[in-house]
Amino acid sequence: MAAALFAASQLAACSRTAGPPAPPAPWDADAARHLANRAGFGATPAELRAAVARGREAEVERLLRGGRGVAPFAIVDLAAIREACRPGPPEGYEHRLRVANQQQLRGYALWWIDAMLSGADPLRERMTLFWHGYFTTSVRIVRHSGMVATQHDFLRRNALGNFGDLLRGIVHDPAMLVYLDAHVNRAGEGNENFARELLELYSLGEGNYTERDVREVARALTGLSFDDAGRPRFRPEHHDGGSKTVLGREGRFGPDEVVALLLERPECARHVAGRMLAYLEGVPPREARLERYARLLRESGYELDPVLRALFLDPEFYRDEVVGRRQASPLDQYLGAAHRCRLDVAPLELRIAAALAGEDLFAPPGVDGWPRDNDWITTSGLMTRANHCGVLVGALGADDVLRMHAATTAEIGPGSLRGVPVLELPPTGLRLVMLRRAEEWASRLRARDAARTHLAPRALEDGVRDERDLAAWVAERGLAIRAPRELEADWARAIAADRRAAGVEDSGWLRRPAAEPVVRRALHRALASPAGCLH
C-alpha cells in the first residue's frame, strides 16, 4: 500500500515537471493492442475488447499486479546433477553430465516458453526477456544448466521489482561470474572482463567511467566465486583488500560497496531507464523524456513498478512514432501469432523456430545480448521468419523444415570435383546444433501432423464467409499491427485464386476439407508479409 502511494506521488511529481501535459491518447482497440504487444506478447480480439472495457488504468494495474503465475520449475543444482551422473562407467561421465545439463536447460526453456504462451503473467515474462538480454549470460560458455536456470529464475522473480536488487544479486551470480571470467579474477591475478561490462553494459554506460575505474573495480570484485553446488560464495583469500579509488571515491571497497557506488550515480538510472524505454518503445528516448524517467527511477529508489506504470500511462507511449513500428524479435512474432490465432504449437517448436531465426534462449550471440531496437531484420531474416510462420500455421511441413535448414546436402562444399559436389562432410559446431534442431522440429511435425489445428473451423466460428472476410480475419489474427487496407484487398484476391484452384467456391466452402489449405495459405501470406514482423 505504502509503495502504491509512493508511486502515485512520484507520478504526480513526474507530471508536474513534464511541461504542459500531452493530450490524453484515446483508449481504444489500437491502444490496447499496442500495450498488449509491448507489455506482453499480443492479445486476441476478445482480450482487446475486455481491455478496452476495463479502461487503461485498470488494464495497466492488471498487468503490473500479474496473474496467477505458473507452477515453479524445480532446478537441479550443480552438485546434485554431478551426483546423478556418477553411476556408470567413469569414461562416460562427462558425456552423461553434458546430456543431463542439456536436458535440464531444455526443460527449463520449454517451461518458460510455456509460461510466455500461457499469458498468465505477460508483463513479468516480457520484462524477464528484457533482463535476460540486459544481463546477458550464455550457456555456451557457462555450461552448467543449474547455474543458468538459477540466474534466470532470479531475473524472473525480480523482473518487476527493484533494479538495485537485480544489480546487487547479479554481481554474486555464479552464471554471470563464469560468463565474464569474474571467478578467476583474483588479487594479484586480475581479469577486467566483468568489471568493464558491469560499468559499461549493466550500470553507467560507456563514457561515464575512466579506464582507471575499470581497473580499480576489477580489484574490488576479486574474491567473487561459488561453491560446489554452484551457489555464490565469497572467497576472502582471493580478495584484494587494499584501498581503491572508484569514481573519485576512495576506500577498501568490495563488490557490494562498488554496486552501492554505481547505484548512487545519476548515470546509472539514465542508463537503465534508457534501455527500458528503447526496448519497450522501439526507439531510444529523447533527452527530456529520458531525464524524466531516469529521475523517476532514481527517486523511487530504483523501483521498476513506478517506471512501468508511468510509461504505460504516458500518452507519448502511444504516439505514432512508437505504435506498430518496432521490429518484433522472432519470439515476439511467433508467440504473438500463436496466441492470437490459437495455433496448436508446442513450446518446443517455438523454441526451435526462434533459435533458428537467431533468438536462441540462454545463448545470446554476444555480451550485449540480442540485436537491439530495429536491428533484427535482414533480407534472410525476413525470409526465415516467413518460412517459419508457414510451418507454425501448417502451410509448410517437416520436409520444408529440413530443406530450410539443410546444412550440407544442398550445399556444394569444398573440393568439388569436375563440377560435381563431393562434399559430404558432417556439419560442425553451432551449425550441427542448428541442424539437429531442425531435425527435431521435423520429427515433431511428422508425429503430430494429423492432430494439427484446423483453422478453417475457427475462421467459420469467427463469422468468416467469403475471401474478403478471410483476408480481414488473417489480418486481425495474424498481425500484431493494423494492416493497411490495400493489403487486405490484395490478400482477398489471392484467396479467391486459391479457392478457385482448390475447387471450393460454393458458399459452404469453409466446411470442406479442401478449405483448410486455403486458410493456412492465407494466414501464412499475412504472417510472411513485412507487416508480420512489426508489433
Partner 1 sequence: MRIDRRSFLAAGGGVLAASFGAGPASAAVRLFGGGDERDGRTLVLVQLSGGNDGLSTVVPYANDEYRRVRDSIRLNADQVLALDDERGLHGELKGLKSMYDAGRLAIVEGAGYPNPIRSHFKSYDVWHTAHARGRAVGEGWVPRLVREAFPKEAAPERMVHIGKQVPYSLHSPTSAPVAFEIPESYRWFGQTPEASDAAPESTGNPALDRLRGVQADANASSRRIRDAARSYRTAADYPNSAFGRALRVAASLIDARIGGRVISVDLNGFDTHRDQRRQHDQLMRTLDEGLAVFCGDLRGRTAGDECMVVVFSEFGRRVAENGSRGTDHGTAGPMFVMGAPVKGGLYGEAPRLDRLKDGDLVHTTDFRSVYATVAQRWFGADAEAVLGAKYPLLDFA
Instruction: Give the three cell numbers for residue 49.
Output: 475488447
Interaction of residue 132 with partner 1, rule CB under 8 A:
no
Part in contact with partner 1 (CB under 8 A); list of ranges 264-272, 408-416, 451-459, 503-511: 408-416
CB count in 10 Å sphere of residue 196 = 19
Nearer to partner 1, 106 or 403 (CB): 403
Interaction of residue 411 with partner 1, rule CB under 8 A:
yes
Q: Which of 54, 106, 403, 436 binds partner 1 (CB under 8 A)?
A: 403
Instruction: Give the three cell numbers for residue 474.
Output: 488473417
Report the amino acid identity of residue 245.
T
User: What is the DSSP secondary structure assignment for residue 506, as one 8-state letter?
Assistant: S
Q: Which of 367, 433, 496, 502 binds partner 1 (CB under 8 A)?
A: 367
Min dist CB 410 to partner 1, Å, is 4
Q: Which of 46, 71, 410, 451 binds partner 1 (CB under 8 A)?
A: 410
Part in contact with partner 1 (CB under 8 A); list of ranges 76-84, 117-125, 299-307, 387-395: 387-395
Percentages of the chain per state (helix, strand, coil), in multiples of 5: 60, 5, 35
Q: In angstroms, rounded to a whole number, what is the distance separating the alpha carbons of residues 375 and 231?
A: 36
Asked if 474 contacts 517 with a C-beta cutoff of 8 angstroms, the reply is no
Interaction of residue 327 with partner 1, rule CB under 8 A:
yes
Interaction of residue 34 with partner 1, rule CB under 8 A:
no
Interaction of residue 90 with partner 1, rule CB under 8 A:
no
Cα R_g (the chain), whole angstroms: 25
Nearer to partner 1, 229 or 487 (CB): 487
Report the amino acid identity of residue 57.
E
Nearer to partner 1, 161 or 365 (CB): 365
Number of H helices, E strands in the chain: 26, 4
Residue 78, classed as helix, strand or coil, is: helix
Interface of this chain with partner 1, residues 37 to 76, rule: CB under 8 A: none
Interface of this chain with partner 1, residues 418 to 437, rule: CB under 8 A: 418-419, 423, 425, 428-431
Q: In angstroms, rounded to a whole number, what is the distance separating the alpha carbons of residues 385 and 236?
A: 50
Nearer to partner 1, 459 or 492 (CB): 492
Min dist CB 300 to partner 1, Å, is 29
Q: Which of 87, 248, 366, 463 binds partner 1 (CB under 8 A)?
A: 366
Part in contact with partner 1 (CB under 8 A); list of ranges 58-66, 152-160, 261-269, 321-329: 321-329
Greatest extent of the chain over all pairs of C-alpha atoms, in Å = 85
Interface of this chain with partner 1, residues 202 to 261, rule: CB under 8 A: 206-207, 211-212, 214
Nearer to partner 1, 184 or 348 (CB): 184
Asked if 325 contacts 534 with a C-beta cutoff of 8 angstroms, the reply is yes
Nearer to partner 1, 105 or 407 (CB): 407
Nearer to partner 1, 292 or 326 (CB): 326
Q: Which of 19, 87, 90, 415 binds partner 1 (CB under 8 A)?
A: 415
**Nearest one of 9, 15, 507, 3 to 292, comparing CA atoms:** 15
**Nearest one of 290, 288, 289 to 274, comparing CA atoms:** 290
Interaction of residue 164 with partner 1, rule CB under 8 A:
no
Instruction: Give the three cell numbers for residue 510.
Output: 469453409
8, 125, 290, 489 from 295: Cα distances, Å: 15, 25, 9, 48
Interaction of residue 278 with partner 1, rule CB under 8 A:
no
Part in contact with partner 1 (CB under 8 A); list of ranges 292-300, 332-340, 366-374, 444-452: 366-374
207, 234, 239, 283, 293 from 214: Cα distances, Å: 12, 20, 16, 29, 27
Interaction of residue 384 with partner 1, rule CB under 8 A:
yes
* Distance of alpha carbon 51 from the chain centroid: 23
Q: In angstroms, rounded to a whole number, what is the distance separating the alpha carbons of residues 86 and 107?
A: 21
Min dist CB 118 to partner 1, Å, is 29
Interaction of residue 395 with partner 1, rule CB under 8 A:
yes
Interaction of residue 324 with partner 1, rule CB under 8 A:
yes
Nearer to partner 1, 18 or 487 (CB): 487
